Amino acid sequence: MVRRTKAEAQETRERIIDAAERVFHDKGVSRTSLNDIAKEAGVTRGAIYWHFKNKHDVFAAMFERQRLPMESMANRAEDPNETDPLGKFREAMIYVLCQTVLDPGRRRVFEIMFHKCEFTAETDPLMERQREAFLDGSERTRRTFRNAIARGQLPASLDIERAVVQLHVQMTGLLYVWLLLPEAFDLQAEAANFVDCYINSLTHCPSIAGP
Amino acid sequence: MVRRTKAEAQETRERIIDAAERVFHDKGVSRTSLNDIAKEAGVTRGAIYWHFKNKHDVFAAMFERQRLPMESMANRAEDPNETDPLGKFREAMIYVLCQTVLDPGRRRVFEIMFHKCEFTAETDPLMERQREAFLDGSERTRRTFRNAIARGQLPASLDIERAVVQLHVQMTGLLYVWLLLPEAFDLQAEAANFVDCYINSLTHCPSIAGP
DNA sequence: TACTATACATACGTTTCTGAATGTATGTAT
DNA sequence: ATACATACATTCAGAAACGTATGTATAGTA
């Protein structure tokens, strides 16, 4: 065997990432060796070292594969020409929550991120990644809220910073808790309720909505 | 040297846990060896193996040391004779948030729990611990809310299950986000606001408060 | 005072993982 | 058809890290 065509090689790369996703999820990132991933993917460590630098590189590639589809969706609500920014925002939030329930791949990656990997000191590039993603997401949300205010969908007195933080807290908390104890509540069925409860607070909670 | 008195041995045990706390926090749980902990504590691995079974045992002891003081505080609000259960509940939540900011030890342990350790399959006793803590905390909260309803502090139409889930989501999300990015917002200054916003939703958000 | 359990330190054998080096067969370009 | 690059597999040396076994000096204890 060996020496596949370029397309086959790309398939091998994907298979390795798929395998890593499953093994990371089952054993935790630190406890999985490259050999574990190789066996699950049906290759040897040599193949992994060909496509990736090391385990961290596999890990990063796994997240990159999930990041791209997320990006596109976030872009919708923050378009200044969108006539219903709050509606699109609502849809996006509900979509993320339901997608986490329905798409096993996304669910696994979120679960790995929340419960099966360790973030270490500032030296760790992953920490920096998280930080950037947070700041970037915050900026998107800020733009969306400004659009919604301009269209009269949110009060002009809205405390945008508190609203942004609260959004992250809400979404992070929801995913964290549900992924830890899926039987605690029905995320898919309750998703719209949770989101509406949050949006409701943007106009009715005094400390966020303003006077 | 060696062969200390019983009191000194207890001090050694505490020093090992202290050291583990710091090293776990700096390097992450999986990347710290027992030798790392021993060096930080100024002992050898032999001392650790005397007091603990293995690294997991040290880890568990670290959490146990934090659990006890938390327990006592939670007991206050759920006392049926308490005339102001909602007020005590509010105080307890704010206390936990501020304590996380002010007590470096508690902050470290929370940070380890959220960002520096891996929860693996159901077989893992840690997972079970978390699960039990969640269910136990939920039951306490339920009792507290029932007391508050009986005293007229919360509406009788309150959806208790949703309120309980929302509480966990809120607190978990707050701590998770703040521990990841402490500069994102001032948790100590905003603690009361966050809690009041949640309590406000218990009487004003339609999907939780009821008609 | 002598003996024993305690509270560690030290030494050892084993396992496991990594990264690199090397081998090899095939795709691909000329 | 040849030559080189590619896509892996295989092998090897070294480093950690673990658990245990053993050494040892002192605190309790009778």
User: Who contacts B29 (Cβ-Cβ below 8 Å, separation ≥6)?
Assistant: A118, B55, B59, B112, B116, B117, B118
Mean pLDDT of A1-11: 73
Rounded to whole angstroms, the Cα distance separating A5 from A192 reads: 47
Q: Supply the DSSP symbol for A183.
A: G
So what's the pLDDT on residue A123? 61
Asked if the C-beta of B210 comes within 8 angstroms of chain A's C-beta atoms, the answer is no
pLDDT-based confidence at residue A155 (cuts at 50, 70, 90): very high
CB contact under 8 A, B200 and A205: yes
Asked if the C-beta of B120 comes within 8 angstroms of chain A's C-beta atoms, the answer is yes
Looking at chain B, the domain(s) classified CATH 1.10.10.60 span 1-52
Taking the C1' atom of every nucleotide in all shown strands and the CA of B35, the nearest one is D17
pLDDT in tens, B111-154: 999 999 999 875 677 778 888 888 889 999 999 999 999 999 99
List bases in chain C with any atom under 7 Å of a protein Cβ: 5-11, 16-21, 23-28
Share of chain B above pLDDT 90, in %: 75
So what's the pLDDT on residue B3? 57
Closest partner residue to A205 (CB to CB) among B116, B171, B197 is B197
pLDDT in tens, B37-49: 999 999 999 999 9
- The fourth-level CATH superfamily of domain B1-52 is Homeodomain-like (1.10.10.60)
pLDDT in tens, A161-171: 999 999 999 99
So what's the pLDDT on residue A1? 46
Half-sphere exposure of B83 (CA within 13 A, CB side): 0
CB contact under 8 A, A169 and B165: no
pLDDT in tens, A115-151: 999 998 766 777 788 788 888 889 999 999 999 999 9
Residue in the block written with tokens 């992250």:
A168
Query: Is it true that domain B62-209 has CATH number 1.10.357.10?
Result: yes
Cα torsion angle, B53, B58, B60, B65, sign: positive
Closest partner residue to A174 (CB to CB) among B169, B177, B196 is B169
Shortest distance, CA B166 to any CA of chain A (angstroms): 8
pLDDT in tens, A53-65: 999 999 999 998 9
So what's the pLDDT on residue B146? 95
Mean pLDDT of B187-208: 94
Asked if the C-beta of B182 comes within 8 angstroms of chain A's C-beta atoms, the answer is no
Closest partner residue to B173 (CB to CB) among A176, A197, A204 is A176
Rounded to whole angstroms, the Cα distance separating A120 from A170 reads: 24
Decide if A84 contacts A54 (C-beta within 8 A).
Answer: no
Whether any strand C atom is under 7 angstroms from the Cβ of B149: the reply reads no
- The fourth-level CATH superfamily of domain A63-209 is Tetracycline Repressor, domain 2 (1.10.357.10)
So what's the pLDDT on residue B68? 79
Mean pLDDT of A181-206: 94
More confidently predicted of A125 and B66: B66
So what's the pLDDT on residue A148? 95
Looking at chain B, the domain(s) classified CATH 1.10.357.10 span 62-209
